[in-house]
Amino acid sequence: MSHREMLLDTYECADGICLPRCELYAHYQDFCQRREFKSISAASFGKLIRQQFPKLKTRRLGTRGQSKYHYYGIGIKETSIYYQSMYSGCGLTRFSGTKVKTEGTCRKYSLSSKIGTLLPDFPDAESLILSDELRHEEVNTFLLMYQLHCQRILDTVIAASFDEVPGLLLHFWQGLPHHLHWLLREELILDTVGFYDSILYKAFIDVLIPSSMMDIPEGLSTELMSFTKQLPGWLAYSLEGISPGIRSKKTQVARTMLGLIKRQISFLYIAQIARSVLSDQNHVACMTQDLLALDLNIAFNQLHMAAGPRDSFALDKSSVLKGVKEFQLLLQKPASIEIFTNWLDSIVEKYVSKVSPNPAAHNFMSDHGNFPL
């Protein structure tokens, strides 16, 4: 596989999605290391990726002094082994590699700790290359209005006042001054709105989902799931009569980012249940006994027949037995849910994402990306 083929196999055009430039180069370096290729410089890689994706745009994102260059308009294919590590953090989830200060304790997450969170600096009209048709003053006015609108949405979400969000959306889009409506038909403005939205949804993930595996109170968890389900409908209603281009752009970005939020909330819910099971020694003892009662040779043979030659990537009997033994030892410790999560990460890392470029491995990484884990 050549360098260009790697780009085509890994990335695709994706409106409204932005990726850190350094992360893409890290993917490329990992690819070269696996294939024992000599890597080109970051600058040369930038030229190469622009040749393959000529519509790619570059934006500087982040707070002053902490900003990084991002590629806008490109996403990682779900079939790529880099898909899950990019969109869920390092490992299977954003919680991978985290440790709790006191294992086994039940800590509740609260949005109140996020009050006062500000969105990072948005690119303004000065950083955009405007055509002669786009008047600088009107573009700047709209972008400033939209940035304030995004901050209000974030403040409302942090306050858990989710029922106020549809009113804010309706007020902004239906109350937009008529002399600014023409801007919503311009491709540059559509791309910029999509970019702003990706920043807002990234902030949603940062404030709605704890960085460690805290238990989310049941009431808050229910509200969050309801919010992610209703938001697309609120968007559609607030955008009635507005340019079809802006409706399409905002809907596409929302669908991608809200899917990530839903999966992380679902994972926390499952982790909360698993934590209670692992804290009950009777349950753990029963699971251990059931595991010891299994005939692993028969189980492996059945697994091998079910997988078939096409899907049996890295399917080695000794590896399977080793994995089961590790799981058994974790049950006997006993281990926390954080330790189990990191162990699962190590299994996928060792036997799936780091193996030879077998399509079955890519299929597995794609399939499990549709589930909480």
Whether residue 334 has a cis bond before it, omega within 30° of 0: yes
234-249, pLDDT tens digit by residue? 999 999 999 999 999 9
pLDDT value of position 166: 95
- Most confident range, picked from 80-84, 115-119, 232-236, 334-338: 232-236
- C-alpha distances in Å from residue 28, one per residue of 21, 41, 323: 11, 10, 30
Check residue 93 and give its pLDDT.
56
pLDDT: which is higher, 352 or 170: 170
Q: If you average pLDDT over residues 37-53, what whole number do you get?
A: 88
pTM of the model: 0.61
pLDDT exceeds cutoff 50 at 350: yes
Span 249-284, pLDDT tens digits: 999 999 988 888 888 888 888 888 888 888 888 988
Residue that the structure tokens 């985290």 belong to: 98
DSSP letter at 37 equals P
- Split at pLDDT 50, 70, 90, the class of 230 is very high
Q: CB-based burial of residue 162 (10 Å sphere; 0-12 exposed, 13-18 middle, 19+ buried)?
A: middle
pLDDT in tens, 160-176: 889 999 999 999 999 99
